[in-house]
A and B are shown apart, each in its own frame.
Chain A
Amino acid sequence: MAWEEQVGSLARERGPALVGYAYLLTGNLPAAEDLVQEGLIRTFSRRRSTADVEWLEAYVRRAILNAYLDTYRRRRLWTRTAPKLAAATTSDAPDTLATDKADVDAALAHLGPRERACVVLRYFDDLTTREVADTLKISEGAVKRYLSDARAHLGQLLTEQDGDAADVLPTARRTR
């Protein structure tokens, strides 16, 4: 299958799942769709030997995460150097989903980008804190700190996770 066809196949078959994943990071549907586009572009900008859709989807998810973090880093640069444009570049969430899970949505909206990425990787992708650290190229201690900070925002939601509170709280006490 030519790579152009793989793009179409992924977009058709896995587009909703990818957008759902991106939405957990952005909290905004158009932004999530843009992020998926960016992830697909990044993935297929390199020549890859694999034609396996599952592997390609994994590449795209990783690209989505990196694009999300890159976007926030650049936005910080942009708003610092172009203060007059700050109002135009901030992205509020008018397209936030109207859902009965809006509490999760709202809670996630209070997280910083790295906190949010840690939460998604830990609780949605089921990665260990070590794997989250490897994925984000930060230390495991930093991951635990981000998760601890996220816990402060998410409150009750995180305390229901078996074992995680015990894993996070001591780290939080050490680092503050």
Chain B
Amino acid sequence: MNETLQDRLRTLATTAGQAHSRRDPLPVDHIVGRARRSRRIHDTVLLAASGAAVVAVALTGATLAQRDPTPPPAVSPTPVETPTPTPTPTPTEAVTPPVEPTPPPASTPSTLPLKDPLASRWMGDASLSSDVPESGDTLEDGDYFADLLSVDPKARTVEVDITILLTGALADAWVRENDPEDFADGVENGYRIINDVERPRTLPLADDARITMWCTGAPGIQQQEWTFEDWAALPDTGDTTCAPDDATRNRYYWVDVRDGEVAQLVGQFFP
């Protein structure tokens, strides 16, 4: 053999690149969308860290004020005031991006595609974040993550507690910043659910809404589809197996909202 390993690796890389060129191009819009979402979260973390620093300074000032009736004005001119910002750094509904305004999601109802509800959306390794609600009792179009609280079969609505799901590197970054004692070679199981969206929401389901849940007992993970009526009739506690008699409702779902209605509920497995 006359070729060096370098030559062989370069040839292999070139061949792979050529093979890629014959396939679909990289999905730039998807990449930009996810990067934009990450920037928003990163901005939120920065804001929270700044808030925590302000609180720390204010608390220090208040403490000094209690010890010394004439505290230096540079620290806190009104030390009797109790600082109100919460030190909890989370992507909440009222958060304002601190660095530069991030444009709202570019997608509109007609352009925000629905993901396949029969495919598990997170399988333990990818870095992703669910959408963050921004206003009001209803939800903008987006793929949210929620703890299912209740189902009203007659009204055809679900009551959900929206949370923020961070996985992979995003979860690592958040926990490093906000819960460092819980960070050991990565976040446990690779995800973190942040439950800082306080108000539960009751959301209507679209007439053609699709509902899928994961179940165990078959090889690999399976997402099984249910009609709303059958799903609503299921018990909400117990084992979640693929056997119809043993089925219970999943607890955590991706809540895909389009035009003010739930277009899809997709159960998410966590170890």
Provided the pairs A20-B17, A124-B6 are in contact, do residues A81 and B219 lie with their beta carbons within 8 angstroms?
no
Inter-chain contacts of A16 with B (CB < 8 A): 17-18, 20-21
Majority SS at the chain B contact face = helix
- Which chain B residue has the least Cβ–Cβ distance from A156? B1
Q: Which of A40-73 contact B (CB under 8 A)?
A: 40-42, 44-47, 67, 70-71, 73
**Number of B residues contacting the other chain (C-beta, 8 Å)?**
52
B123 and A120: CB pair below 8 A? no
B144 at the A/B interface (Cβ < 8 Å)?
no
Say which residue of A4, A67, A124 sits within 8 Å of B13 (CB atoms).
A124
B9 at the A/B interface (Cβ < 8 Å)?
yes
**Number of A residues contacting the other chain (C-beta, 8 Å)?**
58
B75 at the A/B interface (Cβ < 8 Å)?
no
A7 and B32: CB pair below 8 A? yes
Chain B, residues 168-184, CB within 8 Å of chain A (1/0): the string is: 11000000000000000
Q: Which of A104-138 contact B (CB under 8 A)?
A: 104-105, 119-120, 123-124, 126
Q: Which of A137-176 contact B (CB under 8 A)?
A: 154, 156-158, 160-161
Provided the pairs A17-B17, A82-B124 are in contact, do residues A88 and B220 lie with their beta carbons within 8 angstroms?
yes
Chain B, residues 1-35, CB within 8 Å of chain A (1/0): the string is: 10011101111111111111101011110111011
A-B CB contact pairs (8 Å), 12 listed:
A19-B17, A20-B20, A24-B9, A38-B127, A47-B100, A84-B220, A85-B269, A101-B12, A104-B11, A105-B12, A123-B5, A160-B1
A-side residues, CB < 8 A to B, are 3-4, 7-8, 11-12, 15-17, 19-21, 23-24, 29, 32-33, 36-38, 40-42, 44-47, 67, 70-71, 73-75, 77-78, 81-82, 84-85, 87-89, 97, 99, 101, 104-105, 119-120, 123-124, 126, 154, 156-158, 160-161
Q: Which 8 A-B pairs have the closest CB atoms?
A: A88-B220, A78-B124, A16-B17, A20-B13, A45-B38, A23-B16, A20-B17, A81-B271
